[in-house]
Structure formats: C-alpha cells, structure tokens
Amino acid sequence: MQISSMTALELGRKIRQREISAVEAAEASLARIREAEASLNCFVTVDEEGALARAAEVQKAVSSGTLTAPLAGVPVGIKDNMCTEGLLTTCSSKILYNFKPTYTAEAVLNLEKAGAVIVGKTNMDEFAMGSTTETSAFGVTRNPWNTEHVPGGSSGGSCAAVASGEVPYALGSDTGGSIRQPSSFCGVTGLKPTYGTVSRYGLIAYGSSLDQIGPIARDVSDCAAVLETIASWDRKDSTSVKREDCDFTAALVDDVKGLKIGIPSDYLAAGLDEEVKAAILKAADVLKTKGAQVEEFDLSLVEYAIPAYYVIASAEASSNLSRFDGVKYGYRAKEYEGLHSMYKKSRSEGFGEEVKRRIMLGSFVLSSGYYDAYYLKALRTKALIKQAFDRAFEKYDVILGPAAPTTAPKLGESLADPIKMYLGDIYTISVNLAGLPGMTVPCGLDAKGLPIGVQLIGDCFQEKKIIRAAYAYEQGRGPWELPAPACVAGTADAAGGNGGCADGGVRTAAGSGCADDGARTAAGKGGI
C-alpha cells in the first residue's frame, strides 16, 4: 500500500513499528504535494525543509521510545489561519502576505507534542469567509474529484489535500460549516467539535463566538484520534471548556442499537438536491439496519439561521479584522498621506471583495441605531435556535441530515451570486450558532461522480455519540475510495455572543472567568 493511501492511524502504526520512518512519511507527503499541487493548489505554504528536519527529530524520539503517540511522525496540513511560529500564516489574504507569527496556536502545539510533522499551511477562503476556497488571495483550490469543481470552503485546502492523499489528515476551522461542507464536497471526514473543546488561542478569529478548530481526515477513526490530541482546556482561551471526556477514540464502537436518530424534515424540504437527499436517506437506512431508531421531526427555525449567522459572524469579523491596519505587520500600501490614508489604502488594497463585504455588513449591524434591530435580534434568534436543538435532543441522540444542498458547484458559479452561496450554508450554520458538535462522513457519489456527505449532529459535549454513529455507519457503508493519485495528476490540465452551549459560569472551572494576578504565564514570545 502506498503511503499516500494510508490513514493517519495506519501510517502512525507503521512508524511506531519501524516499518516506515517519519522521514519517509514526510518525503512521501512532499512528493505527493509536488505531484498534485499544480492542478489542485491545496497549500499556501509548503515547508519542505522544516518538515524534513522535524521528521528526523520526531523519528529520533520514536526510535528512542520517548514518543509513542498514535500520530507521531505522521505529516499534517494546517489551515492557514492557525498561527505557526516562524512559518507564514496568511489567512489566504494579501493583508497578511508576509506575516510570520511569533507563537504557535495551542491546537497546533498539542499536535506537535504528539509528534505531528507539519508539511505546510493549507489554502482557504480569505479569513475563512466563503464556501468555495475561491476568495483566497493565493489562487483557488480545485476539487480532487473533478478539478473543474470547487472543493468547498472555507477549509477547502485542508479537505482537498486529504482527499488527494497529499496529507493523511489536516486541521480545519469551522465557523459556519467550514469543515463539514468542504469535507462533504471532497469526500473526506470532518468534525467540528463542541464550542470550547479545542482552544482558539492562535486561531486568527473570524467569528469568535462561532469559530472552532477540528480534524479533517480519511475516516472516522482518524478524526477521533486527532480530536483527542488537539482538545484541551487552555487558560489562554477564556471560552475554553474543561472536559473530562476527551477520550474520543473510546467511542469507535460499531454499535448503534437503540440509538435514537432524528432527521429534520425541514432539512429534506425544497432546495435539497434529489441525489443528495437519496444518499442521505440511504445512509439513515444503513444505521436503521444496524438497530438505530430513525424518524423525521420538525426542528423549526431553520430559515432564520442564515440571517442570524451572517449578522453575528460579520459583526464579530468587522471588529476582529480591524487590527489588520498596516501599522504593525502585514501589508501596508506603498503610497499614502497621513495615518487615515494609510489605514484606508492598506485595508482597501489588502482585503478581498468578500472580506470587505462582510466588514461593511458587520460595521453596519453594529452601528448605533441598528444595533438592536440587527445584532441583538440575531442574538435572540441564536438563543431560540439553541432552544430548538435542546428540545430535539430531549428526544434524539443524534440528528442526521445533509451537509450541503448540493454537491460541489463548478468554479466561478458561486461568487457570482453571494446570496445563493450564503444559502448553501443552511444545514451547517445552526450547529455553530448553537455551539454543537457536527461531523460529515462520505455517503455516496452523485451522477457526476462528485461525493456527498452525511452530517451527524450531537448535543453539546456529545461528540462520542456522533463518533459512534459515524463509525457504525462507516462500517456498514463499506470502504470508501478516494480519487486515486494518478487520476488526480491525470486531470491536471482539465483543471462564529458566546457559542451556545454553556454560559460563562459553567464554562470556566473557576466560575468567575478570570485568572489570578501574576499567576498567568506570559503567552508566547515578546511582540513586536
């Protein structure tokens, strides 16, 4: 079996058993990247030298027996909105085209402690704003299944890199479906954890109350193993949750007898592609055959999720992105007169269209006179959506539905009609608004040969339930073939108030949400 066809856990096992060295694994990943990048463009930055040096270092630790973690020596791609010390971190934006962070994101540090070898930073929609990875300032990423199609977004680079065998797994971030939707489009497995499970420290914020980092991999087992590695309670992130149940691989059990699964009939209504619908219902049948109780129900409020999401996420983004001003780092306009002109020109030239659209939208909904009508109303809607899910989870263990209304659209189709693109987020964003965990597992192909993913949603902190359901489904579904490496190369020329689950008092162990004076450690190195 080729290294590029192995799952992360398979490769990790072979590295631990000394069948493959970490350096060989890194070389195989880099070779695959060299082969496929011309047609796919999954990476903004590939760190060949760093990866090989790191792999040699990890191999030493593996050989000496000091590193025994399941992912030790396995190459990984990191979405380019997570800070990596000394390694370019651009958010796929011109405004951060030269930005090298002085510190590494907590989730990435957790991976590094477990022996991960970072091969590069994956492409994304600029600042994670988009559903196609076409808004990147560094070129579009193409779908490995058909390079005329988008990979989805915003974690399109991570998903396409996994689907094409460039890396066995990658990290993505999910603010409104940015892990689950591209996973569906690329035929890979992606998991967005409960808000607060993975530290956001070092994740360059889009919508702070919605953002979560999560794994993207070839199968459910890899996702569980990666989440187990990156989840941590982090004092540097006030919204981080102390959880005792992060042994997610313990949920890899092929048993769903008695598991209650609800399918929101609202999700199967008009707007859902018939082929996608059929594939989703077929996936539900697989679980039913294995003993799960499956029924449809009315979730309600589904149509309000999109406006609420775009108001909240854009509002937070308008403020989060104000620090990119050309003063301290990143892009600064060449010519300007005075401070105001420098701000205006640097930001006008540095940000892309979609980002500017959302900054303007967000600034508008927060401006005086509109705050109550838009922002507060959106927060109330968010609370109601959470309540609707609470009611649903009184009856069901898992909610099952599509991750997107269609399979991957063609390049160029979506950006022409942003509203239509926003509507494509309908099945994913309410999960972010309610702070819930959600997962996409490949469940079929449409007539064009493009993958379809089934989404499994759990109640807050119930990742184990969805992992169990996903694993059981995967076993029932049978092997899932990703596009063969040769096939990809051959087509080269063809080519977001706080997140829902718990209030502040419950989230922080101290109850007060603060740290002791002088007791905190300085986070990372000195600034500028």
Among residues 187, 192, 179, 116, the alpha carbon closest in space to that of 153 is found at: 179
If one asks whether residue 243 binds other proteins (CB under 8 A), the answer comes out as no
Say which residues have a Cβ less than 8 Å from residue 95's Cβ, sequence separation at least 6.
324, 326, 330, 331, 346, 347, 350, 351
If one asks whether residue 128 binds other proteins (CB under 8 A), the answer comes out as no
79 among known catalytic residues = yes
CB of residue 209 vs other proteins: minimum separation in angstroms?
A: 4
The stretch among 58-66, 315-323, 386-394, 405-413 that binds other proteins (CB under 8 A) is 315-323
Compute, in degrees rounded to 10, the torsion defined by CA atoms 263, 265, 271, 276.
Answer: 30
Q: Cβ distance 267 to 388 under 8 Å? A: no
- Helix (H), strand (E) at residue 214: strand 212-217
Other Cβ atoms less than 10 A from the Cβ of 526: the count is 6
154 among known catalytic residues = yes
Among 315, 439, 441, 466, binds other proteins (CB under 8 A): 315
CB of residue 512 vs other proteins: minimum separation in angstroms?
A: 6
Query: Closest CB to other proteins among 310 and 473?
Result: 310
According to CB under 8 A, which residues from 247 to 306 bind other proteins?
A: none
At 217, give phi and psi (nearest 5°).
-150, -175
Among 121, 235, 345, 386, binds other proteins (CB under 8 A): 235
If one asks whether residue 96 binds other proteins (CB under 8 A), the answer comes out as yes
If one asks whether residue 236 binds other proteins (CB under 8 A), the answer comes out as yes
With both helix axes pointing from N to C terminus, report the angle between 463-477 and 274-289 in degrees, rounded to the nearest 10.
100
Compute, in degrees rounded to 10, the torsion defined by CA atoms 1, 469, 476, 483.
Answer: -40
With both helix axes pointing from N to C terminus, report the angle between 22-40 and 156-163 in degrees, rounded to the nearest 10.
110
If one asks whether residue 343 binds other proteins (CB under 8 A), the answer comes out as yes
The stretch among 28-36, 249-257, 285-293, 494-502 that binds other proteins (CB under 8 A) is 494-502
CA dist 282 → 82, 279, 285, 444 (Å): 36, 5, 5, 9
Compute, in degrees rounded to 10, the torsion defined by CA atoms 454, 459, 464, 465.
Answer: -60
Q: Could you give the count of Cα atoms lying within 13 Å of 351 in the half-sphere of its Cβ?
A: 25
Alpha helices in 415-462 (DSSP H): 418-423, 429-433
Query: Closest CB to other proteins among 140 and 359?
Result: 359
Active-site annotation holder among 154, 158, 208, 221:
154
Q: Cβ distance 267 to 427 under 8 Å? A: yes
If one asks whether residue 325 binds other proteins (CB under 8 A), the answer comes out as yes
Query: Closest CB to other proteins among 83 and 251?
Result: 83
If one asks whether residue 242 binds other proteins (CB under 8 A), the answer comes out as no
If one asks whether residue 101 binds other proteins (CB under 8 A), the answer comes out as yes
Active-site annotation holder among 21, 131, 178, 184:
178
Among 34, 328, 410, 448, binds other proteins (CB under 8 A): 328
Q: Which residues bind other proteins (CB under 8 A)?
A: 82-83, 89, 91, 96, 99, 101-103, 105, 200-205, 207-209, 235-239, 315-316, 318-319, 322-325, 327-329, 339, 343, 363, 366-368, 371, 375, 496-498, 503-505, 507-508, 510-518, 520-528
Instruction: Enumerate the active-site residues.
Output: 79, 154, 178
